[in-house]
C-alpha cells in the first residue's frame, strides 16, 4: 500500500471521525469529559506526529517504544512528540521539533499534511494534538535514547488489516485487559491506540 499526500489531504477535508473512533480503542475505565470541562481544568498541552514515509515501495508509519522512567507512560508504544515549550509558536511547531529531537528527522524535511482530533489523557492531565506528516524518502532514524529505546517502522497496510484485540497490560501496578493493536511485536494501547483508531477510521478501515 502506498499512500500519497493528495489522498490524505482529500480525506482530511471531510469531517474527522473524532470521539466515535476514539471510543473503539479506549479502555472501559477511561473517562471522556467534554472539552469545556477539560479546558477549564487548565491541562498541559502537547503534540505528536504521525510520520508517514516510503520503505520498499510501501507507506510506513513511525512509532517509538518509550524508555523506562518514573511516569505513567513508561515503556509504552508512542508517537514522536511531547509537551509544548515556550519557544514553540504553534502546536504544529511542537510536533515538528519533538520529531526532530526524538528520531532525528529535520523538521524542514516533513510535509505537514493536517491534523486529527485532539484527545485528553487523564492520568497525565495532557491535552494532545496529533498531526500527520510525510517524508518523500526512506529515512535513517537517530534515536534520542533518553526518550525512546526503539523506532518501530510499521507497514501501514499491515496495521490497517489488523483487527484490534483485548490484551493484558500493566496499569499502575494492576493487570487489566484493554483494546489494543500489535505494532512491531509490542502491544499498543491507550492514547496511541486511540489516535491510531481515528487514523484508521479516516482511511476507511
Please report, for the chain, the start and end positions of each structural domain, with discontinuous segments joined by +.
5-202
* d(C-alpha 171, C-alpha 135), whole Å: 35
What tens digit of pLDDT does each residue of 53-105 get? 999 999 999 999 986 545 444 478 999 999 999 999 999 999 999 999 999 99
Domain 5-202 part of CATH 3.30.460.10: no
Beta-carbon contacts of 144 under 8 Å, excluding residues fewer than 6 positions away, are: 101, 102, 103, 104
Average pLDDT over residues 20-42: 95
With a pLDDT cut of 90, the percent of the chain lying above it is 83
Average pLDDT over residues 176-187: 92
Range in 87-91, 104-108, 134-138, 165-169 with the lowest mean pLDDT:
165-169
Q: Give the DSSP letter string of 66-125.
A: EPP-SSTTTT-EE-SEEE--TT-SSHHHHHHHHHHHHH---GGG-EEEEE---EEETTTT
Give the torsion sign (CA, 192, 165, 173, 146): negative
pLDDT at 68: 59
Q: Is the pTM of this model over 0.75?
A: yes
* d(C-alpha 198, C-alpha 117), whole Å: 8
Buried b (16+ CB within 10 A) or exposed e, 22-44: bebbbbeebeeeeeeebeeeebe
* d(C-alpha 113, C-alpha 8), whole Å: 7
Range in 37-41, 65-69, 183-187 with the lowest mean pLDDT:
65-69
Mean pLDDT of the chain: 93
Amino acid at each position: 500500500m502506498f499512500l500519497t499526500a493528495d489522498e490524505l489531504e482529500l480525506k482530511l477535508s471531510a469531517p474527522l471521525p473524532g470521539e466515535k473512533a476514539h471510543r473503539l480503542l479506549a479502555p472501559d475505565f477511561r473517562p471522556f469529559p467534554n472539552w469545556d470541562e477539560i479546558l477549564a481544568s487548565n491541562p498541559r498541552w502537547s503534540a505528536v506526529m504521525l510520520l508517514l514515509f516510503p520503505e520498499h515501495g510501501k507507506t510506513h508509519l513511525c512509532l517509538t517504544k518509550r524508555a523506562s522512567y518514573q511516569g505513567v507512560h513508561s515503556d509504552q508504544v508512542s508517537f514522536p512528540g511531547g509537551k509544548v515549550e515556550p519557544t514553540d509558536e504553534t502546536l504544529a511547531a511542537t510536533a515538528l521539533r519533538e520529531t526532530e529531537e526524538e528520531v532525528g528527522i529535520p523538521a524542514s524535511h516533513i510535509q505537514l499534511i493536517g491534523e486529527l482530533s485532539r484527545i485528553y489523557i487523564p492520568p497525565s492531565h495532557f491535552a494532545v494534538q496529533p498531526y500527520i506528516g510525510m517524508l518523500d524518502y526512506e529515512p535513517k532514524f537517530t534515536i534520542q535514547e533518553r526518550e525512546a529505546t526503539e523506532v518501530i517502522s510499521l507497514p501501514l497496510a499491515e496495521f490497517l488489516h489488523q483487527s484490534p484485540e483485548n490484551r493484558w497490560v500493566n496499569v499502575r501496578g494492576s493487570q487489566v485487559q484493554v483494546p489494543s493493536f500489535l505494532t512491531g511485536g509490542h502491544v499498543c494501547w491507550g492514547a496511541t491506540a486511540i489516535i491510531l483508531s481515528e487514523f484508521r477510521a479516516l482511511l476507511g478501515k
